[in-house]
């Protein structure tokens, strides 16, 4: 049991900005599911205050209330007093990692995740055994018996969102520089992601095609790794900083107008590099310059004149529902641009789900670490999306797509999920869905 250590504890002036009005409680997903004050933004801010003032300690009880936070940042959007909960929880998580020993089970699952997911070359090695696991029928057997769920619920949660492996060795077929089609208007960098490049490579290919079709020369440095979102969201400071430095080095001196990312969670972290490397004198300025160029692909496309012609995606009217990803909506304040782009596609009608701004429960690796709360949120999100009656779902984040797909399937729904940029790509190519 200890207090916050001296290395960047949550700032007292940010804590004091909270007037305890409670407006944020209604929009907090952990409070909605768990129903306890200490699992709400206000409760967590009370806890930070108490630990800062030596009235409480970091221990098993208090740390579990920080662990239960999804980091969705809905409270930041809601708070009328402008409380920077994002900065507060970002300062608290590394404190928990440094000062609160975790159980063996907790350490093991975290070690597996942090040593695997941010490294595409390690993930790639797993593809053949995973492919065999799925194709041999073993996956179905394991799920039917429910053996993992019984003995290792977090591993079961990880297994439940495993995407279908269609290729044993997905390659990044994208060259290092792709010329613009027609007149070159912009030169942009493109980030491939780690999970994205292995399990969602068609989204990366669609992103490159849509950008080049609209006059962008696309630069894809091969040395780029993971954006650092997974370790950053879990307070793994040193790992996040090392990955951020590698990413900056990959894109430096490339003379780019913008650095494009198509995954919401990664985009939010890339824009935070100035904070992540604030204490690094060598990288601080480079990190700020890098972050200032980062744009979500939808943010970028909505801000330029689209020159590629768009065609209908269906012979009849197509009803879509756009699923707000928290790290776009709350983290980057991007909600209009994706809707504006989708409405440009001829014949598309957009519907809005209930509780559009509520987290789906994915939240990076939250659905693997806190499967019960995540499952309840996933169920609610799937219901709300199905109830729109839309033909397809547009989802701008791979984690959200996997989480929602799992819960759609559990409900027997066959509504398909696309990344919005895939829909734009199909529309440019004149493909029907």
Give me the residues that bind ligand SF4 (CB under 6 A), please. Answer: 18-24, 28-30, 41-42, 44-45, 69-75, 78-79, 81, 83, 85
Strands (E), 311-408: 318-322, 348-351, 392-394
Asked if 25 and 41 count as a contact pair (C-beta separation under 8 A), the reply is yes
Closest to ligand SF4 by CB, 225 vs 378, is: 378
Closest to ligand SF4 by CB, 31 vs 426, is: 31
Closest to ligand SF4 by CB, 37 vs 249, is: 37
Q: Say how far apart CA 276 and CA 232 lie, in whole Å.
A: 8
We find the least distance from the C-beta atom of residue 48 to ligand SF4, in angstroms, to be 11
Q: Say how far apart CA 373 and CA 388 lie, in whole Å.
A: 24
Nearest Cα to Cα of residue 25 among 41, 45, 44: 41
Closest to ligand SF4 by CB, 14 vs 130, is: 14
Closest to ligand SF4 by CB, 70 vs 213, is: 70
Residue 167: is it exposed, middle or buried by C-beta count within 10 angstroms (0-12/13-18/19+)? exposed
Nearest Cα to Cα of residue 181 among 308, 11, 363: 308
Asked if 421 and 207 count as a contact pair (C-beta separation under 8 A), the reply is yes
Closest to ligand SF4 by CB, 39 vs 217, is: 39
Closest to ligand SF4 by CB, 76 vs 261, is: 76
Closest to ligand SF4 by CB, 29 vs 118, is: 29
Per-position DSSP letters for 175-217, written without gaps between them: -SEEPPSSS--EEEEE---SHHHHH-HHHHHHHHHHHHHTTEE
We find the least distance from the C-beta atom of residue 285 to ligand SF4, in angstroms, to be 29
Q: Say how far apart CA 233 and CA 70 lie, in whole Å.
A: 9
We find the least distance from the C-beta atom of residue 359 to ligand SF4, in angstroms, to be 6
Per-position DSSP letters for 119-138, written without gaps between them: -HHHHHHHHHHHHHHHHTSH
We find the least distance from the C-beta atom of residue 47 to ligand SF4, in angstroms, to be 11
Longest dimension (CA), the chain: 66
Q: Say how far apart CA 176 and CA 166 lie, in whole Å.
A: 24
Q: Say how far apart CA 173 and CA 199 lie, in whole Å.
A: 14
We find the least distance from the C-beta atom of residue 200 to ligand SF4, in angstroms, to be 25
Q: Say how far apart CA 62 and CA 263 lie, in whole Å.
A: 32
Q: Which residues lie across from 418 on neighbouring strands? A: 394
We find the least distance from the C-beta atom of residue 68 to ligand SF4, in angstroms, to be 8
We find the least distance from the C-beta atom of residue 362 to ligand SF4, in angstroms, to be 12
Closest to ligand SF4 by CB, 289 vs 376, is: 376
We find the least distance from the C-beta atom of residue 381 to ligand SF4, in angstroms, to be 14
We find the least distance from the C-beta atom of residue 121 to ligand SF4, in angstroms, to be 32
């Amino acid at each position: 049991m200890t207090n916050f250590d001296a290395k960047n504890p949550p700032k007292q002036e940010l804590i004091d900005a909270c007037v305890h009005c409670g407006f944020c409680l209604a929009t907090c997903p952990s409070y909605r599911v768990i129903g306890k004050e200490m699992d709400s933004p206000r409760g967590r801010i009370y806890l930070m205050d108490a630990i800062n003032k030596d009235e409480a300690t970091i221990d098993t009880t208090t740390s579990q209330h920080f662990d239960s936070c999804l980091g969705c940042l809905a409270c930041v959007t809601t708070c009328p007093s402008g409380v920077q909960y994002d900065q507060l929880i970002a300062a608290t998580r590394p404190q928990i990692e440094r000062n609160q020993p975790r159980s063996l089970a907790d350490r093991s699952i975290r070690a597996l995740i942090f040593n695997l997911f941010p490294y595409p070359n390690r993930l790639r090695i797993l593809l053949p055994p995973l492919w065999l696991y799925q194709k041999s029928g073993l996956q179905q057997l394991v799920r039917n018996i429910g053996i993992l769920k019984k003995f290792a619920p977090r591993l079961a949660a990880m297994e439940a969102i495993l995407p279908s492996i269609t290729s044993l060795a997905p390659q990044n077929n994208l060259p290092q520089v792709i010329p613009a089609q027609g007149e070159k208007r912009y030169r942009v960098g493109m980030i491939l992601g780690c999970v994205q490049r292995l399990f969602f490579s068609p989204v990366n290919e669609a992103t490159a095609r849509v950008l080049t079709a609209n006059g962008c020369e696309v630069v894809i440095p091969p040395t780029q790794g993971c954006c650092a979102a997974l370790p950053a969201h879990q307070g793994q400071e040193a790992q996040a900083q090392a990955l951020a430095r590698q990413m900056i080095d990959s894109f430096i001196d490339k003379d780019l107008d913008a650095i494009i990312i198509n995954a919401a969670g990664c985009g939010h972290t890339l824009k935070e590099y100035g904070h992540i490397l604030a204490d690094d004198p060598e990288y601080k300025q480079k990190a700020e310059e890098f972050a200032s160029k980062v744009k979500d692909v939808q943010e970028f496309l909505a801000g330029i004149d689209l020159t590629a012609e768009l065609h209908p995606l269906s012979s009849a009217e197509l009803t879509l529902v756009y699923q707000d990803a928290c790290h776009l909506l709350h983290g980057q304040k991007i909600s209009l641009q994706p809707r504006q782009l989708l409405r440009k596609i001829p014949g598309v009608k957009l519907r809005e789900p209930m509780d559009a701004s509520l987290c789906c429960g994915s939240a990076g690796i939250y659905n693997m670490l806190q499967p019960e709360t995540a499952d309840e949120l996933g169920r609610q999100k799937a219901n709300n999306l199905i109830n729109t009656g839309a033909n397809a779902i547009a989802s701008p984040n791979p984690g959200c797509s996997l989480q929602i797909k799992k819960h759609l399937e559990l409900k027997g729904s066959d509504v398909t999920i696309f990344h919005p940029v895939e829909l734009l790509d199909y529309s440019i190519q004149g493909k029907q869905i």
